[in-house]
Amino acid sequence: MVVVVVVGETVRAANWGLNGYARQTTPELAKLPVVNFTDVTACGTNTEVSLPCMFAPVGRRDHDEARIRGQQSLLHVLARAGVAVHWRDNQSGCKGVCEGLPGDTVAALGVPALCPAGERCLDEGLIHDLDARLDGAGGTQLWVLHMLGNHGPSYFRRYPERHARFVPDCRSDDLKDCPVEQIVNAYDNAVGYTDEILARTIRTLAARADRVDSALLYVSDHGESLGENGLFLHGIPYAIAPQVQKKVPMVMWTSPGLGPAAGLAPGCLEAELQRKAATPVAHDHLFHTLLGLLDVRTALHEPAWDLAARCRVADGGAVPAATPASTPAR
C-alpha cells in the first residue's frame, strides 16, 4: 500500500478550476475520477504555521502552536506503527514535521533539466522517479511530496514555458512592476502546472493498481491575495486574514483496492468521500483521515475527524463516526 500526500504551496481555492473558477486551471484533473473538496479551510496563512498544524492531531480547532511543535507529528506516529515514511522536499523544509525521518530534496536528486541555473527546481522533480519507486515498493508506505507550487512573488518561475497558457504573464520578481491582470495570469499558469503534476502522479499510480493499492491526497498549505483590497501574497494574522488566504483546494484519488486493504467496507470509500466533498472540511481532518487510510489503530485517532470513518469495518459493520478508537498503535 502506498499513500501519496502532496502538500501544495500558496494555491488558493478561488483559482482552482475544479471549484468553478472562470478559467479551467485544472483541465487534467477534470478528466480523472478524483474527489474535489470545495470548502477547505487551512490551519494558517503561511507555511511556518500551516505545515506543523496540518500534521498535528489537533489543529486550528484548538490551536496551540507551542503544543503542536512539542508533539510528534503524524509522520512520527505512522513511522512508530511500522509505516515506511519518506519526505521529499522542493520547498523550504518540513518545519520539524519530518525531523529524523527518511527524506531527500529535489535539488539533491541530480536532475539538471528540472533545476535551472540560479533558480529553484521545478516540481516535476518530485515525481521524476515515481515509476521506479512504485516498482520497488513493498509493505505500507507514506510518501509526502512538498511542492514549490505557487510560491510568490515570482510565480512565473514556478512553471516551464509550455505552461504559459494565460498571457501576458508577469515576468518580474517584483509584483509592483506588473498590472494585476498579468500577475493573475502568471499565478494561474502555476496552478495549471500543479494540475499536470497531480494528474501524472494519479495516472502512474492507476497503472500499478494491479499490484499496489494506492491513494493520493493533495491539499495546499494556505492561500494567497492577488490584489483584493490592495493586498498581495499572504501571511496576514489568521484572525483578520481574508478568506482567499485561508481557503485552499483539496483533492483525493484512491485505487479500487485501497478501501478493502485499509479495512473499509467494499464500495464505501469513494461514495463517502463524494458525500463529504461539498461539506466544510479543514486541515484538521488530515491527521485522522490518513490514520484511517493507512489502517493504523491508535487512541490518537478521532473518527469524527476521519473523512472515511463511516466506512470502517468492525464486527461486521461500519463504525459510527463518533466512536473513538481504542486499540493501541500497531
Q: Which pLDDT score, from 0 to 100, does residue 70 have? A: 61
Q: How many C-beta atoms lie closer than 10 Å to residue 168's C-beta? A: 12
- Which pLDDT band holds residue 71 (cuts at 50, 70, 90)? confident
- Please say if the pLDDT value at position 318 is more than 80: no
Task: Please state the φ and ψ torsions of residue 120, each to the nearest 5 degrees.
Answer: -75, 155
Cα–Cα dist 54/74, whole Å: 9
H helices within the chain, ranges in order? Answer: 47-54, 65-70, 74-80, 130-135, 180-207, 243-246, 258-261, 269-276, 284-293
H or E element in which residue 125 lies: none
Cα–Cα dist 136/39, whole Å: 36
Residue (of 77, 22, 18) closest to 199 by Cα position: 18
Residue (of 189, 196, 253, 238) closest to 48 by Cα position: 238
Q: Which amino acid is at 28?
A: E
Residue found under cell 472540511 = 281
- The fourth-level CATH superfamily of domain 2-318 is Alkaline Phosphatase, subunit A (3.40.720.10)
Q: How many C-beta atoms lie closer than 10 Å to residue 144's C-beta? A: 24
DSSP string, 279-317: S-EETHHHHHHHHHHTT---TT--GGG-TTGGGBEETTE
| The three cell numbers locating residue 194 | 500543479
Residues in contact with 40: Cβ distance below 8 Å, sequence separation at least 6, in sequence order: 13, 219, 247, 248, 249, 250, 281, 282, 283
| The three cell numbers locating residue 178 | 506588473
Residue 103 pairs in a beta bridge with: 87
- Please say if the pLDDT value at position 329 is more than 50: no
Q: Which pLDDT score, from 0 to 100, does residue 277 have? A: 97
Higher pLDDT among residues 283 and 110, named by residue:
283
Over the stretch 86-138, which tens digit does the pLDDT of each residue have? 999 999 999 999 999 999 999 999 899 999 888 899 999 999 999 999 999 99
Count of H-run helices and E-run strands, the chain: 9, 12
Residue (of 127, 280, 96, 291) closest to 197 by Cα position: 127
Q: Which amino acid is at 290?
A: L
CA 48 to chain centre: 16
Q: Which pLDDT score, from 0 to 100, does residue 67 have? A: 62
Cα–Cα dist 244/11, whole Å: 9
Over the stretch 184-209, which tens digit does the pLDDT of each residue have? 999 999 999 999 999 999 999 999 99
- Please say if the pLDDT value at position 274 is more than 60: yes
Domain map (residue ranges) of the chain: 2-318
- Inter-residue contact 228 to 244 (CB < 8 Å): yes
CA 162 to chain centre: 24
Higher pLDDT among residues 113 and 324, named by residue:
113
- Please say if the pLDDT value at position 322 is more than 80: no
Percent of the chain with pLDDT over 90: 87
H or E element in which residue 227 lies: none
Please give the DSSP secondary-structure letter assigned to residue 264: B
